Amino acid sequence: MKKTIPCPCGRPATFDACCGPLLSGARLADSPEALMRSRYTAFARGDAAYLLASWHPDTRPEHLSLDDEAPMRWLGLRICSAPPADGDSGTVEFVARYRSGGRPGQIHELSRFQRVDGRWLYVDGDLRDD
């Protein structure tokens, strides 16, 4: 019997049926929200290669290290808003909860996405104060 692992992105689906195909490259994200969810999942799974590959080349860092001294344990993602894309650009506002060094925290961001050659990419985001 195959073990089913829930997808970290919070959708009621298994990883293999939800974000797994995006992280493996078998499928492209069909919306900014789908890309945002897959990027959260990549953070939760420590997949720096996917994060860099899904980042717009104009804003992508040269390197991305997910092995900090106090690693983050991702606890949940809440999408606050994900309006339909406006042509080849879109936004997603989200809150991602985590624990680092035994302390809880969260990231609240309004992220911007752009579709390049039919592929959604993360451009940048503005952190929100809570």
Residue 56 makes CB contacts below 8 A (sequence gap 6+) with 114, 116, 121, 122, 123, 124
Write out the residue range of the structural domain in which residue 99 sits: 20-127
Specify if 9 maps to a domain.
no
Tokens representing residue 98 in the block: 């985590």
| DSSP code string of 30-71 | SSHHHHHHHHHHHHHHT-HHHHHHTB-TTT--S------SS-
Question: How many structural domains is the chain composed of?
Answer: 1
Task: Tell me the pTM.
Answer: 0.93
Q: Does 31 have pLDDT greater than 80?
A: yes
**Residue 108 confidence class, pLDDT cut points 50, 70, 90:** very high
Q: What is the CATH number of the domain that holds 122?
A: 3.10.450.50
Specify if 8 maps to a domain.
no
Q: Does 36 have pLDDT greater than 80?
A: yes
- pLDDT on residue 66: 82
68-98 residue pLDDT tens: 656 789 999 999 999 999 999 999 999 999 9
The mean per-residue pLDDT over the stretch 96-117 comes to 95
- pLDDT on residue 121: 98
- pLDDT on residue 2: 56
| DSSP code string of 16-28 | TTTTHHHHHTSS-
Closest CA to 48 of 32, 67, 34: 67
- pLDDT on residue 77: 98
